[in-house]
Structure 1
Amino acid sequence: MRTEIIINQGIHESRIAILEDGRLAEVWVERPESERMVGDIYKGSVSAVIPSLQAAFIELGLERTAFLQVKDMVEAENANGDEEGGQSRNSRRPRSFPPIQGLLKKGEEVLVQIAKEPISTKGARVTTQLALAGRFSVLMPNGSWVGVSRKISSFTERRRLRDLVRELRPNNYSIIV
Structure 2
Amino acid sequence: MSEEILINVTPQETRVAVIEQGAVQEMHIERGNAHGLVGNIYQGHVCRVLPGMQSAFVDIGLERAAFLHVADIWQPLPHDGANRPIEKQLHEGQSLVVQVFKEPIGTKGARLSTQISIAGRFLVLLPQERHIGVSQRIEDENERELLRE
Deviation for aligned residue 1:24:
1.1
Q: Greater helix share, 1 or 2? A: 1
Q: Greater strand share, 1 or 2? A: 2
Alignment partners' CA distance in 2, 1:150 and 1:3 = 22
> Normalization by structure 2: what TM-score?
0.84
Partner of 1:82: none
The change in CA–CA distance for 1:62 and 1:147 in structure 2 (over 3 A counts) is closer
Contact conserved, 2:70 with 2:85, CA < 8 A, in 1?
Answer: yes
Partner of 1:51: 51
Deviation for aligned residue 1:132:
0.6
Number of aligned residue pairs: 144
Deviation for aligned residue 1:21:
2.7
Q: Give aligned-pair identity as a percent.
A: 44
Tell me whether 1:63 sits opposite 2:49 in the alignment: no
Letter in 2 for 1:9: V
Tell me whether 1:103 sits opposite 2:89 in the alignment: yes
Match of 2:111 among 114, 125, 142: 125
**What's the Cα RMSD here?**
2.5
2:33 partner SS: helix
> Normalization by structure 1: what TM-score?
0.72
Partner of 1:161: 145
Unaligned runs of 5+ in 2: none
Q: Find runs of 4+ consecutive structure 1 residues off by over 6 angstroms.
A: none
Alignment partners' CA distance in 2, 1:127 and 1:11 = 33
Letter in 1 for 2:66: A
Alignment partners' CA distance in 2, 1:41 and 1:11 = 26
Tell me whether 1:36 sits opposite 2:36 in the alignment: yes
Unaligned runs of 5+ in 1: 78-95, 168-177
Alignment partners' CA distance in 2, 1:37 and 1:76 = 26
Match of 1:135 among 121, 132, 141: 121
Letter in 2 for 1:134: G
Deviation for aligned residue 1:2:
2.8
Tell me whether 1:116 sits opposite 2:123 in the alignment: no
Deviation for aligned residue 1:151:
6.7
Alignment partners' CA distance in 2, 1:43 and 1:21 = 43
The change in CA–CA distance for 1:147 and 1:15 in structure 2 (over 3 A counts) is closer
Letter in 2 for 1:46: V
The change in CA–CA distance for 1:22 and 1:151 in structure 2 (over 3 A counts) is closer
Contact conserved, 2:125 with 2:132, CA < 8 A, in 1?
Answer: no
Contact conserved, 1:76 with 1:129, CA < 8 A, in 2?
Answer: no
